[in-house]
Amino acid sequence: MRIVVRNVRKRFGKVVAVDDVSFEVKDGEIFGIIGLSGCGKTTLLKIIAGILRPDSGKIYFDDVDVTNLALEERKIGFVFQDVRLFNHLTAIENIAYAPTLRGEQDREELVDWLMGFIRADLSKSTMPTELSRGMQQKISLARAIASEPNLLLLDEPLAGLDARIKSTMVFELRDMIKDVGVTAIYVTHDQWEISSIADRIAIMKAGKIIQIGTPEELYYRPVNEYVATFMGGECNLLNAYSLGNSQFKIGDLILKGSRNIENGRNVKLAIKLDAFIPNGRFEAKIIERNFMGPFTRLVLDINGIKFIAKMPSKQVFNVDKVFVDIDPNKIVVFER
């Protein structure tokens, strides 16, 4: 199912919660919406679901205008942050709830198939309350998928879970959604989580969408400083001025950026943490290091300028300096 959101606005009193938002979700796509709390993402989700009516604008499912359709007529599967399973039914009965209501004969097959997804050995009598919260959330998703919805809406489904559980579950959720091919909208405030699960992402701020793109596009081609620092957590933001030919000067350093700006203009460079390539020409003193597993976060001093970098841990073992190059494609240039 293709979802079209066109010029949607919603105001609560003086607050414009959703401000002229338009986007399209392709059939079978996992579309992410990310923003800080209060950015309007939950209101937008409620409008798509039919829980709230927009003040103006339209919602289409395929080519059908559903703007005035009620929630139940839109056939939407929900997964919320707080797990809402039927606790008087077994885990399996929860998954089979919608197929049973429809009186389907082959529900056993469908349930078996979904259970395979969840990768759990649940007995027929396992109740939701006996399960961990992560597992309950997987059952919620399986139940939502089994209802064969037009659209799946996931609102912070992994919030509140332990970091390590979240980082394994996010890929499991993606597998489950992609295997059935249902169109999904996934809302969170966690940029790592959204990059891991979504095909494309919309970043919202103060009711507006600032940028839509793939995780890679938002990370390496942010339209402004807000997106640059939002996607990726940390980012080096440095004042520089243009020397022409895509070259920029910061202190004594001359760096090549991802695009050209007229000579002499002041710019701001957003240098991503993974821009630092070993075996390069700049000598960098390591003045701080944080081991994070595959990568080590470093504070580097290059010619008296401090940079934050993330490099593969094994390349920076037991050394107090590294020689690096800075990848021009990972230096975003903003005009000032």
Residues of this chain that interact with another protein (CB under 8 A) are 36-37, 119, 132-135, 162-165, 167-168, 189-192, 195-196, 214-216, 219, 229-234, 272-274, 290-295, 297, 310, 312-314
- Cα 30 to Cα 211: distance, rounded to the nearest angstrom: 16
Residue type at position 122: L
Q: Which is nearer to another protein, 43 or 191 (CB)?
A: 191
Is the CB of residue 100 less than 8 Å from the CB of residue 107? yes
Q: Which is nearer to another protein, 183 or 191 (CB)?
A: 191
The minimum distance between CB 60 and another protein, in angstroms, equals 29
Q: Which is nearer to another protein, 76 or 83 (CB)?
A: 83
Is the CB of residue 11 less than 8 Å from the CB of residue 17? yes
Tokens of 305: 């300028």
The minimum distance between CB 192 and another protein, in angstroms, equals 6
- Cα 322 to Cα 265: distance, rounded to the nearest angstrom: 31
The minimum distance between CB 317 and another protein, in angstroms, equals 8
The minimum distance between CB 98 and another protein, in angstroms, equals 27
Is the CB of residue 250 less than 8 Å from the CB of residue 305? yes
> Could you write out the DSSP letters of every residue in 91-122?
HHHHHTHHHHHTT-TTHHHHHHHHHHHHT---
The minimum distance between CB 170 and another protein, in angstroms, equals 9
Q: Which is nearer to another protein, 96 or 228 (CB)?
A: 228
- Cα 262 to Cα 242: distance, rounded to the nearest angstrom: 7
Q: Which is nearer to another protein, 28 or 57 (CB)?
A: 28
